[in-house]
């Protein structure tokens, strides 16, 4: 036997046994997104490396050490997308979608980050991504957050809570950055290696550090909220008032800065206490400067990304996944002529009963084997087609989940009879 090929570490198969929760989430999410006027778009999984460097920022975990970057046969440096916002912004620019127009867009697909795999943290993982382009907010920020709150309700998920913050304009941040750098330099001894490296390039990211040893140091740092410009203050106040008016509960976390460089003003994160260390399920914010940074015309924008695996895990834990649909009819076949006739009968039933699951016994087998398969399939009815039934122009119908006996039914009346039994 030749050696088995292993899956790539941190990249998972979603097996049929688990797909129900994914499909349930996708169905509910699609409905919620569409009810707020978001339209689906699909962008490539691979983009020029430059796109991510310019948008996410050089001094971020993602760009520094998590990207799957390679040279293609034409010599271009390409990267498997680590997130979707950059690609969606790129698509809006390359397709001439902006020009003062407004768009609400959503996207679902796999992202790739070379992180240390653990529960809830994978190297290929899926995200829902929503982006509203051309809306300065804060009304759209409120609506976007209300949409996420509605999604949790529709999914019957309760163990999630919302934290919000404002990062102000880039000028306000530059101002704050100087103060923060001074504070962090004065406490350099307490910083870990990553943070020391970021001190010059991206000191705000240090606030995002999850190192327990640095917690006290971070708690003592100056607060960005004390440096906000008046417009951002007003924007943030309106965001809070909008959420209050809708009854969406939140907590203001002045240390929430988010890992990516392109955010401005609103940032938010939904966290859960049900998944251990991987507690972020949905994170987003406003990124008014990103599209200009990528060569597009100035366009206000806000969006979020939601980790599908983490939400699926919450759904499984909460037991709020509807059971998978079983096939409804299993056709048991006995005899040579019946073997030849059965496929045609199965096709006729699929024509007459669209949307019903019709399984035809494949690969022969005696009655006992076929009934065992019928039982395992979860089907509610067995149809028995044998040569003797064929001679009489009937099939036998036998309920599998009730005690009722088997009855003969003329082939021409089968669809109506089955429909009345299901
Ligand atoms: P974390 O703090 O968990 O690293 P993040 O801030 O890097 O998250 P984002 O880049 O904002 O996350 O991505 C949005 C969402 O995608 C996260 O809230 C999380 O649910 C999910 N996510 C991020 N990285 C991973 C991963 N490696 N595996 C699974 N899900 C992930
Ligand atoms: Mg991360």
> Nearest C-alpha to atom 29 of ligand 1 is from which residue?
121
Query: Residue 295: what pLDDT?
Result: 93
Query: Residue 404: what pLDDT?
Result: 80
Ligand nearest to the CA of 257: 1
The 3-class SS string of the chain reads CCCCCCCCCCCCCCCHHHHHHHHHHHHHHHHHHHHCCCEECCCCCEEEHHHHHHHHCCCCHHHHHHCEEEECCCCCEEEECCCCHHHHHHHHHHCCCCCCCCEEEEEEEEEECCCCCECCECCEEEEEEEEEECCCCCHHHHHHHHHHHHHHHHCCCCCEEEEEEECCCHHHHHHHHHHHHHHHHHCHHHCCHHHHHHHHHCHHHHHHCCCHHHHHHHHCCCCHHHHCCHHHHHHHHHHHHHHHHHCCCCEECCCCCCCCCCCCCEEEEEEECCCCCCCEEEEEEECCCHHHHCCCCCCCEEEEEEEHHHHHHHHHHHCCCCCCCCCCEEEEEECHHHHHHHHHHHHHHHHHCCCCCEEECCCCCCHHHHHHHHHHHCCCEEEEEEHHHHHHCEEEEEECCCCCCCEEEEHHHHHHHHHHHC
> Nearest C-alpha to atom 23 of ligand 1 is from which residue?
307
> Nearest C-alpha to atom 22 of ligand 1 is from which residue?
307
Q: φ and ψ at 364, to 5 degrees?
A: 65, -150
CA angle 289, 263, 31 (to 5 degrees): 100
> Nearest C-alpha to atom 14 of ligand 1 is from which residue?
305
CA 332 / ligand 1 centre spacing (Å): 49
Whether the model clears a pTM of 0.85, i.e. scores above it, the answer is: yes
CA 356 / ligand 2 centre spacing (Å): 43
C-beta 261 within 6 A of ligand 1: no
> Nearest C-alpha to atom 11 of ligand 1 is from which residue?
283
Which tokens is 326 given?
A: 């079983």
C-beta 115 within 6 A of ligand 1: yes
Q: Tokens 């806000």 label which residue?
A: 302
Compute the distance between CA of residue 341 and CA of residue 355 in angstroms, rounded to an integer: 22
C-beta 121 within 6 A of ligand 1: yes
CA 61 / ligand 2 centre spacing (Å): 7
Q: Which of 116, 122, 211, 305 to mutate to test the pocket of ligand 1 (most atoms within 8 A of CB)?
A: 305
CA 260 / ligand 1 centre spacing (Å): 11
Ligand nearest to the CA of 113: 1
The 3-class SS string of 169-188 reads CHHHHHHHHHHHHHHHHHCH
C-beta 190 within 6 A of ligand 1: no
Query: Residue 172: what pLDDT?
Result: 87
C-beta 279 within 6 A of ligand 1: no
Would you give per-residue pLDDT tens digits along the chain (422 residues)? 899 999 999 999 999 989 999 999 999 999 999 999 999 999 999 999 999 999 888 777 888 889 999 999 999 999 999 999 999 999 999 999 998 899 999 999 999 999 999 999 999 999 999 999 999 989 999 999 999 999 999 999 999 999 999 999 888 888 888 999 999 999 988 888 888 888 888 888 888 787 888 888 888 999 988 999 999 999 999 999 999 999 999 999 988 887 666 788 999 999 999 999 999 999 999 999 899 999 999 999 999 999 999 999 999 999 999 988 888 999 999 999 999 999 999 999 999 999 899 999 999 999 999 999 999 999 999 999 999 999 999 999 999 988 888 999 999 999 998 888 88
> Nearest C-alpha to atom 28 of ligand 1 is from which residue?
121
Q: Which of 86, 283, 302, 308 to mutate to test the pocket of ligand 1 (most atoms within 8 A of CB)?
A: 283
> Nearest C-alpha to atom 6 of ligand 1 is from which residue?
259
Give the sheet arrangement for strand 358-360, strand by strand. 358-360, 329-334, 381-386, 394-399, 407-410
Query: Residue 259: what pLDDT?
Result: 60
CA 122 / ligand 1 centre spacing (Å): 9
Query: Residue 261: what pLDDT?
Result: 66
CA 282 / ligand 1 centre spacing (Å): 8
C-beta 205 within 6 A of ligand 1: no
C-beta 280 within 6 A of ligand 1: yes
What is each CA distance from 71 to 58, 65, 125, in whole angstroms?
19, 17, 23
Counting from 1 in the atom list of ligand 1, the atom nearest the Cα of 306 is 15
Query: Residue 174: what pLDDT?
Result: 85
């Amino acid at each position: 036997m030749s050696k088995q090929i292993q899956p790539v570490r941190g990249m998972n198969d979603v097996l049929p046994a688990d797909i129900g929760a994914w499909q349930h989430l996708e169905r509910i999410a699609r409905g919620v997104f569409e009810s707020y006027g978001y339209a689906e778009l699909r962008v490539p999984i691979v983009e020029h490396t430059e796109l991510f460097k310019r948008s996410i920022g050089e001094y971020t975990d993602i760009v520094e050490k998590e990207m799957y970057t390679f040279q293609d046969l034409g010599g271009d440096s390409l990267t498997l997308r680590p997130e979707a916002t950059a690609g969606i912004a790129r698509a809006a620019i390359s397709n001439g979608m902006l020009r003062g127009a407004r768009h609400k867009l959503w996207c679902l697909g796999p992202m790739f980050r070379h992180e240390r795999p653990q529960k809830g943290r994978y190297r290929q993982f899926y995200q829902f991504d929503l982006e509203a382009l051309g809306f300065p907010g804060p009304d759209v920020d409120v609506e976007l957050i209300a949409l996420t709150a509605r999604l949790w309700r529709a999914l019957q998920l309760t163990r999630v809570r919302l934290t919000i913050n404002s990062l102000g304009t880039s000028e306000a941040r530059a101002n704050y950055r100087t103060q923060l750098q001074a504070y962090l330099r004065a406490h350099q001894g307490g910083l870990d290696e990553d943070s020391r490296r970021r001190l010059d390039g991206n000191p705000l990211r240090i606030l995002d550090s999850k190192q327990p040893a640095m917690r006290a140091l971070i708690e003592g740092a100056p607060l960005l909220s004390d440096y906000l410009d008046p417009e951002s203050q007003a924007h943030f106040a309106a965001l809070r008032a909008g959420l209050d008016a809708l009854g969406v509960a939140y907590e203001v976390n002045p240390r929430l800065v988010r890992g990516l460089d392109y955010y401005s003003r609103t940032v938010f994160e939904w966290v859960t206490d049900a998944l251990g260390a991987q507690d972020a399920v949905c994170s987003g914010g406003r990124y008014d400067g990103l599209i200009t940074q990528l060569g597009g015309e100035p366009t206000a924008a806000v969006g979020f990304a939601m980790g599908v695996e983490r939400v699926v895990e919450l759904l499984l834990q909460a037991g709020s996944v509807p059971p998978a649909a079983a096939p409804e009819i299993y056709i048991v076949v006995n005899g040579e002529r019946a073997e030849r006739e059965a496929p045609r009968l199965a096709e006729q039933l699929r024509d007459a009963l669209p949307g019903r699951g019709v399984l035809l016994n494949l690969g022969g087998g005696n009655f006992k084997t076929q009934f065992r398969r019928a039982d395992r399939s979860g089907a509610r009815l067995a149809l028995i087609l044998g040569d003797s039934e064929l001679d009489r122009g009937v099939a036998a119908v036998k309920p599998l989940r009730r005690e009722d006996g088997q009855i003969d039914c003329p082939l021409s009346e089968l669809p109506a009879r089955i429909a009345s039994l299901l």
